[in-house]
Structure 1
Amino acid sequence: MLNHSSNQLMSHRRFMRKLALIAFGAGAYTLASTTAADSFRHIATFDVTSNGTDVAEIVDATPSGRSLLYTDSDNAVIGFVDIRDPENPLPDGTIALSGEPTSVAVRDRRYALVGINTSPGDEEGEPSVRTGELAIIDLLRRSIERTIDLGGQPDSIAIASNRRYAAVAVENERNEDFNDGLLPQAPPGKLVVVRMFGPPSRWTTRDVDLTGLADVAPEDPEPEFVDINRRNEAIVTLQENNHIVVVDLRTASVTNHFAAGETTVQNVDATEEELGPQEQGLITFVETLTKRREPDTITWIGDHLAATANEGDYEDAFGEEGGSRGFTVFDTATGAVVYESAESFEHASARAGHYNEGRSANKGGEPEAAEYGEFRGEELLFIGSERANVVGVYDASEPSAPVLNQLLASGSGPEGIKALRRQNLLAIAAENSEDNFPSMITLYRYGTGAPTYPQIESLDDPDSSTAGVPIPWVAQSGLTADPNDPLTLYSVSDSFLAQSYFYTIDISAEPAAIVSRTAVGGPDGAFDLEGIAAAPEGGFWLASEGRNGARPNQIIKVSTEGTIESQVELPDGLVANATNSGLEGIAVTGDSTTELVYVVVQREWDDDPDGEVKIGRYDAGAAEWTFVRYRLDGLESPAPEGAWVGLSEIALLPNGTFAIIERDNLLGTDAQVKRIYRVDLASADFRPWDDPSGLATIDKTLLRDVLGVLETNSVWTPDKLEGLAISPVNGAAFIITDNDGLDDAIGQTVFVEIGALP
């Protein structure tokens, strides 16, 4: 990652990291693909709102690979995406449907099948009638050729490779507001086999009765997902029933069935504490659970094995929830477990910063999507985590021991995955949207080269008593370089977690490695850390952002062990003008006798002119605060409502001037301002905050616009460019983004070297 003058030092650090991996047993969970010859690389993201739709849930592709189709249940349409140029996907219109589309499957260049839920809405406290139909879409004419009454509410569709059969899982899902959501609730679900011989007008259907098979509510099967192998066998998950069924499509009969069973996961976080400034709790991988698997999606691996994504969906009469947080490979002839991922997938997500603490007490990452495909002769299994916003790519050439090759960032809530094998493409549909990002389809291309994500991941936690448990981390909000070691950086996390930490980062390999974390201030160290800087005589200065009525804006000096040595607040009179946008970055100059600490305030306070913010300087020897003002860039008009520009970081440059991150709060295609400026603070006229002549406004010089860097290294341009580190040894500069801990956020962390700043 860095061009160092000492190759020997880098080789030594890499060798020591390998030794640490072996010692802590991280090889079981650390990504195997850091040296892979082939990998998936993000090439495009399609915003479904550009097609006049709101949601992309299930996605499929035409055989030519020129078009994607996706379901939008909110608007009762099927959407089309033109991917003739996959790096530039284009909106291609919609087809209106009679109800909520739940699944779409493309048969050939002419026809696609769509399952449509036409059921009336549930009345609170009682179930309603379950109805649905199968729409056959003529892709050439972009019209509905025929509809077939399914006699119930469809959930999933699969089409056989010989195009003679289709299978529709008709769930007739339960009303969770009726009888506490407990099964059974009539009518029972079923599988509908579609015989596709001749034109659609001649297609016929046969129902497959699935009652009496499961141990859980056998009279009310609720099939969730279906897939078909080359032998025209359908495999069906009964999610709430925790059961799996194999059906021969030629005879429309059940040939085998077995319970999905349960599994034990160890060293997981199953408690959602409400502690800390934002009541977000802690990520602690110390608990053991035994859970029903309750698989959602299922995919064949060849003709005799199948993999399930064990999301879980049912809370039984005893209050026990299903969902085992991982995936399982089953022998479909015997029902035997060939492989169980247990906690490893969730741990791998956590290593990359994709852990959703808000779901700890529920079902963790909730693996929901599964897909199998062969790319360049490689047998690959894809598992999507709905709550972690990632897709794991596994080498499944040995199904009894899948190997994690890489993690792919997605939008929020990856629901549908489609492998376009001939085109070496992978499409991921993420259904969730928020005010600041849309539902989206991400496109990846498989080709030569190592993975580009994650760009930073954690090693095993040296404080854990069990090998293989990762250092948990999220929301990196500040960054600094080691004064003497060009291969070490330090970061801090903000108040998303109840406990404040600083992290040690080894950049001698790719991805960079978080090798340790240190608690700040012991168990009571609940700050909103937004900046970190190495102190001249050892230890660190930290900037903690204030929140009116909850915590003060302050700078904190800590030892290398995290012990607080001093805490300094801003002048009382100045604090009276404060808003909730307070101290962000921090930088330090001098030595123990001439120590000067610089901080930036993110946005205007009540005593600031519009478009100007403060930079503070604290003279540690004299214990005095002084300030200057900094003029912010404006946004292009029209800017989205609520848009603003502020400061996020300050870092000392080798020539004694300072680099400052100036950024807006906008994501994706709305993002405008992600810039690094130079300011000369050594010659600036710092004054007390209440100086009668007012505060001076300093000049700034643009060093680097990094908007393009963020666009290139993310699936959706992040808003929170919050960390900048500049090595005093070789001048190399690094940036890092705050992923908001997956709280209404996509969760991707961008961490890249941007070269020396001019």
Structure 2
Amino acid sequence: MPAISRRRSASATVLALVIGSVLATGAMVPAASADDGDERDSPSRKAAGLTLSVLGRYETGVFDASAAEIVTYHADSERLFVVNAQAGAVDVLDAVDPAVPTKLFDLTAEGITADDGSVIPAGTTANSVAVREDGLGAIAIESDVKTDAGWLVFFDANTDEAAVLGAVRVGALPDMVSISADGRYAVVANEGEPNEDFTVDPEGSVSIVTLPGRVTAPVQSVVRAADFHAFEAGGGKTLPEDVRVFGPRLGANPVSVNLEPEYVAIDAGSEVAYVALQEANAVAVVSLAEADITEIWPLGFKDHGLDGNGIDASDRDPTGAPTLNIKSYEGLKGMYMPDGITAYTADDETYLVTANEGDAREWGDYEEGVRVKDLGADGLLPICADSPLAGLTGDADLGRLNVTTENGLNEAGTCYQELYAFGARSFSIWTTGGEQVFDSAQQLEEITAAANPDFFNSNHSVSNLEGRSDDKGPEPENLAIGEIDGRSYAFIGLERVGGIMAYDITDPASATFVLYINNRDFSVSMEGSVEAGTGAADLPRAGDLGPEGLVFVSAKDSPSGRPMLAVGNEVSGTTTLFAIAAEGKKRDRSADKDRDDKGHSDRGDSGR
């Protein structure tokens, strides 16, 4: 039976800053630590305007097996739906009392007959879940053979039993599903990754499913596919030069098999989807009405040679031991490569927010990434002698940093004039035309270093110092956006070191850091615990490891009448609810009274 924990103590680290503080200049800031993530008397915390504290937590008891990934919330039933990839299911959690989320049942796809006649076999994987306001839910299901077409499985979020409504077939490896604000479309990013030995590489695509007006499964005929064929040679659309198409290219359509849709954001008008193409370092723009990819725009590259735009590139710094050493390097670039992407509106304009994780391709005999110090050996091309990076191949400099072999060659193609690292160790805000209006620069590394200096750039499965400095740093994975008291906030999950960053993004061009909370106990190092045979006992103490999916719950939709953030943590297998409060604002007790008087009697009457 999974353990249930109400609150955690003595392990949450909280860091908060005055809005518009010296952080914008790149200066380091002091850390603050607090039991249960609550430090109400801190002047800096009050000035931040927002607090985040652990409210409740559900534990699967499963370590490092993706038992809690993508999470979504349905207001009418007051339930959380959490992708449990380890079980090939979606866990349904009752959040009526958010301090004690409890599992009701799980939703599985095995044995379901889809509308095209296919039967979903055993061994499939659940990758994503979304729920419409009326309770129509959709689960993205990867085939047991991941290069085969997958499914979108539909369910009723209001029911009290594990029953599904039906399914339709979509593309290969459906990795993410999002439902448009008007409830008309489910949009699926079909990643189309190759098989392990890189002998089969399916095309990436985006499925647009027109949803019925009631809580029932759609039919196969309403599933439309948006593909990348028009961006092939002679296809009529131009693929910009900086969109990365690289590596082994199998089949007749090299662009289509190379581009791998990862994550979907949909504008508030439910007209356009923006799909992250992570490895390609680009975004595809999709017309939902036409089921057409109208354009692809590259995200460009981050210049780590600029002051204030540096990284800590080595886990073995000048002393020979791990130390904080954030520096700028002329000739070093970062590829944004976002995983999570979300849309929001500011001043009647749509903006996109990305978590710039980074990712390298490693399939079969092909490995894109290499350490800088290995360039020039074993058949790899060297760094150019006149490159500003030529003398920085030692471990204390860039030698241990992982970079791509696919970018940075000189015009002759004989050596690397520049080097390109995976990810940007930041989050960014973009216009819908691809113009970057904000990037957090080196702030994420600075903030996490200040909060937990002994575990700066730690990995998630093991507590260490600088375990990830040579490879993507804190690794911003995903994000959620919410509005509180008329201001917009981005909540960014850091996959490796852990924790949630909150930024005020009301003004897209001048986003400001608000706070950082990490509900993790670094004194527990899980890999060592597993090796010692104490993993099961130590996992509850370890806290939240590897935040993967986040969802914001508004005060209007929240069971408590106050806003919350739900986070699925794939490494610790936990789902954690954070209470969000605007500092200095009195609680509206009348809202609570109204909810108590209703006794929740208006929840989900139509579907129960």
> Could you tell me the TM-score, scaled by structure 1's length?
0.51
2:440 maps to 1:306 = no
Question: CA-to-partner distance for each residue in 1:578-622, whole Å, 9 max, x for gaps?
Answer: xxxxxxxxxxxxxxxxxxxxxxxxxxxxxxxxxxxxxxxxxxxxx
In structure 2, the partner of 1:355 is 457
Match for 2:148 among 109, 130, 137? 130
201 and 293 in structure 1: CA distance in 2 versus 1, 3 angstrom threshold: closer
In structure 2, the partner of 1:86 is 98
Match for 2:130 among 85, 88, 105? 105
In structure 2, the partner of 1:584 is none
- Counting only pairs closer than 5 Å after superposition, residues 182-581 of structure 1 correspond to structure 2 as 186-198=201-213, 199-202=216-219, 204-211=222-229, 212=231, 213=239, 215-217=243-245, 218-219=255-256, 220-232=258-270, 233-265=272-304, 266-273=309-316, 281-288=322-329, 289-302=332-345, 303-314=349-360, 315=368, 316-318=404-406, 320-332=420-432, 334-353=433-452, 354-356=456-458, 357-410=466-519, 411-421=544-554, 422=556, 423=558, 424-433=563-572, 439-449=573-583
Q: Is the contact made by 1:193 and 1:208 (CA closer than 8 Å) also made in structure 2?
A: yes
CA distance in 1, matches of 2:109, 2:457: 37
The residue identity in structure 1 corresponding to 2:502 is: V
Shift of residue 28, structure 1, vs aligned partner: 8.3
Question: CA-to-partner distance for each residue in 1:50-100, whole Å, 9 max, x for gaps?
Answer: 99x971000001123611001111111110111101112112221223310
CA distance in 1, matches of 2:571, 2:54: 19
Question: What count of residue pairs does the alignment treat as equivalent?
Answer: 412
Q: Is the contact made by 2:76 and 2:133 (CA closer than 8 Å) also made in structure 1?
A: no
Question: CA-to-partner distance for each residue in 1:514-541, whole Å, 9 max, x for gaps?
Answer: xxxxxxxxxxxxxxxxxxxxxxxxxxxx
Matched residue of 1:418: which SS?
strand
Match for 1:167 among 171, 174, 187? 187
Shift of residue 388, structure 1, vs aligned partner: 1.8
Question: CA-to-partner distance for each residue in 1:23-62, whole Å, 9 max, x for gaps?
Answer: 99567867975523432222122212399x9710000011
Matched residue of 1:61: which SS?
strand
In structure 2, the partner of 1:514 is none
313 and 440 in structure 1: CA distance in 2 versus 1, 3 angstrom threshold: same
The residue identity in structure 1 corresponding to 2:490 is: L
Match for 1:154 among 146, 152, 174? 174
Shift of residue 178, structure 1, vs aligned partner: 3.3
State the superposition RMSD in angstroms.
Answer: 3.0
The residue identity in structure 1 corresponding to 2:54 is: H
Shift of residue 287, structure 1, vs aligned partner: 4.6
Matched residue of 1:158: which SS?
strand
Structure number having the greater strand percentage: 1
In structure 2, the partner of 1:709 is none
280 and 191 in structure 1: CA distance in 2 versus 1, 3 angstrom threshold: farther
270 and 28 in structure 1: CA distance in 2 versus 1, 3 angstrom threshold: closer
Q: Is the contact made by 1:165 and 1:194 (CA closer than 8 Å) also made in structure 2?
A: yes
In structure 1, the partner of 2:415 is none
362 and 450 in structure 1: CA distance in 2 versus 1, 3 angstrom threshold: farther
Shift of residue 275, structure 1, vs aligned partner: 10
Shift of residue 147, structure 1, vs aligned partner: 1.2
Q: Is the contact made by 2:84 and 2:91 (CA closer than 8 Å) also made in structure 1?
A: yes
Q: Is the contact made by 1:311 and 1:368 (CA closer than 8 Å) also made in structure 2?
A: yes
390 and 50 in structure 1: CA distance in 2 versus 1, 3 angstrom threshold: closer
Q: Is the contact made by 1:63 and 1:109 (CA closer than 8 Å) also made in structure 2?
A: no
287 and 350 in structure 1: CA distance in 2 versus 1, 3 angstrom threshold: same
230 and 26 in structure 1: CA distance in 2 versus 1, 3 angstrom threshold: closer
In structure 2, the partner of 1:698 is none
CA distance in 1, matches of 2:351, 2:82: 28
Tell which structure's C-alpha radius of gyration is larger: 1
Q: Is the contact made by 1:385 and 1:414 (CA closer than 8 Å) also made in structure 2?
A: yes
CA distance in 2, matches of 1:260, 1:54: 29
CA distance in 2, matches of 1:341, 1:130: 38
The residue identity in structure 1 corresponding to 2:448 is: S
Q: Is the contact made by 1:191 and 1:210 (CA closer than 8 Å) also made in structure 2?
A: no
CA distance in 2, matches of 1:376, 1:62: 22
The residue identity in structure 2 corresponding to 1:209 is: D
Matched residue of 2:53: which SS?
strand
Shift of residue 149, structure 1, vs aligned partner: 1.0
323 and 401 in structure 1: CA distance in 2 versus 1, 3 angstrom threshold: same
Matched residue of 2:478: which SS?
strand
Q: Is the contact made by 1:325 and 1:366 (CA closer than 8 Å) also made in structure 2?
A: yes
388 and 146 in structure 1: CA distance in 2 versus 1, 3 angstrom threshold: same
> Could you tell me the TM-score, scaled by structure 2's length?
0.63
CA distance in 2, matches of 1:173, 1:400: 35
CA distance in 2, matches of 1:256, 1:441: 37
Q: In percent, how many aligned pairs have the same letter?
A: 27
Give unmatched runs, 5+ long, in structure 2: 1-16, 32-43, 111-123, 232-238, 246-254, 361-367, 369-403, 408-419, 459-465, 520-543, 586-608
The residue identity in structure 2 corresponding to 1:146 is: G
Give unmatched runs, 5+ long, in structure 1: 1-16, 122-128, 180-184, 434-438, 452-758
In structure 1, the partner of 2:373 is none
